[in-house]
Structure 1
């Protein structure tokens, strides 16, 4: 594929905040290839470095549609995927303000975020993977407590119900003993998306995880679609192409992959 992405061991100090850590590099086989950023209902911290040329530490908000960009060997990229619903606790801003945005982490954490990026910039990928989690755990702010924590926990429980495919919005609200309207309001603030939009992205991510090995009709049933036509329509809206075209490699035109100008060079 031209992209080597592997999981990083999660330090104990990060487990309460993040669902996964990974590091990715593009090798020479990926030069010029179109690479995919899947739709994602989570907020992600991304540290991207080009040894000798600086680094960038950014926040990627929930991504409502796929993005395609051209692979360029050299940079490495570490991603810390935040537990869905935890955005306000970590960044002090509701997730709805971050949807489809890529912003410098310094917008939220100030100079410590820039200093973190500078310290990591010239590390080799192996060193970066080993040190990233340890250093991030040391700079995490204290989380909010009380009613804010209870609100975020409620949102997280709702996302787990919807992801499991065992409950629609109404059923999830009943199980959590809140009204549908209250659940929607909490969801938009905590996740950035409506519960239904969250479920659409989650279904597409389920299909993408098995798209290379399973028949579309089987995937439609397992992911919670009414039928294969429902899968195809929803997939096209979020991915920009129908499932069969993605499998054949017929992808939309890629765009450059770069960070905002304000953080393009941290030296």
Structure 2
């Protein structure tokens, strides 16, 4: 999936809503700037989500992949012949859907059928050689019957509450990790363990990614100093430092198209 080349998402079947946080489609030809010369550059943003991908090159058969959380942005040369549909798994559902804890997938792109255990291999078999639309329809048939409801369980409820508390929202400033742990009556160590299994990242790194993505989404709406406040930073300097660490360049450079040199696309690895 190429964040900067996103297209309107396909309709999400009602049966998938408890499991799939968001769908999206895109091609491999996003641009970092509107007037960039070929080859164009697309950006993979930092992302706390684990995703199922249906990826097709040219007229070839779709490949079923799993993309783990991405802790920093990467910049790549576009591939016009690549298209991709992604299914973003909500926090706490990765082990149930794929049979592995989310922490094992951080920074990786893995063939679905190559993951250890029966759960992922069976899902890969069921999806088989379906195209994008077929994969969505088949997931709608499979997941509700074979997996427990994501609303059940104390650990899952705690994780979802913590994710909500640490995330940027329009009606409040996100909480600090220590404060959130106290509100949920768990230790910070317990909170880290919950995030490791269900998200793959520490609570602190999850919050950093969420804040930076909020800056990316709302940079044209507020002044830098005001944006820093509403996204939970101490000040504008703190925001700039975090943005540079995750995006590779400070905010002004990014939004004026002064991006890092693009590299080759991440290779697909195996466990």
Equivalent in the alignment of 1:188: 196
The answer on 1:238 being equivalent to 2:240 is no
2:147 is matched with which residue: 143, 157, 172? Answer: 143
Equivalent in the alignment of 2:17: 15
The answer on 1:157 being equivalent to 2:165 is no
Give the superposition deviation at 1:154.
Answer: 1.5
> Contact 2:19 / 2:150 at 8 angstroms: preserved in 1?
no
Distance of aligned partners of 1:143 and 1:62 in 2 relative to their CA distance in 1, 3 Å threshold: same
Equivalent in the alignment of 2:218: 210
**Structure with the larger helix share:** 1
Equivalent in the alignment of 1:125: none
* TM-align CA RMSD: 2.7
Give the superposition deviation at 1:251.
Answer: 1.2
Alignment of 1:31-50 (within 5 A): 32-50=39-57
Distance of aligned partners of 1:136 and 1:218 in 2 relative to their CA distance in 1, 3 Å threshold: same
Which is worse superposed, 84-93 or 167-176? 167-176
Cα distance in 2 for residues equivalent to 1:160 and 1:106: 32
Alignment of 1:55-204 (within 5 A): 55-108=62-115, 109-110=120-121, 112-113=123-124, 116=127, 118-120=129-131, 128=132, 130-140=133-143, 142-144=146-148, 149-164=153-168, 165-204=173-212
Cα distance in 1 for residues equivalent to 2:92 and 2:63: 24
TM-score, with length taken from structure 1: 0.84
> Contact 2:114 / 2:121 at 8 angstroms: preserved in 1?
yes
Which secondary structure state, in structure 1, belongs to the residue aligned with residue 252 of structure 2?
helix
> Contact 1:57 / 1:113 at 8 angstroms: preserved in 2?
yes
Q: Residue deviations 1:113-162, cap 9 Å, x none?
A: 26635221xxxxxxx3x444222222337225799843122211110111
> Contact 1:2 / 1:26 at 8 angstroms: preserved in 2?
no
Unaligned runs of 5+ in 2: none
Which secondary structure state, in structure 1, belongs to the residue aligned with residue 200 of structure 2?
coil
Aligned residues: 254
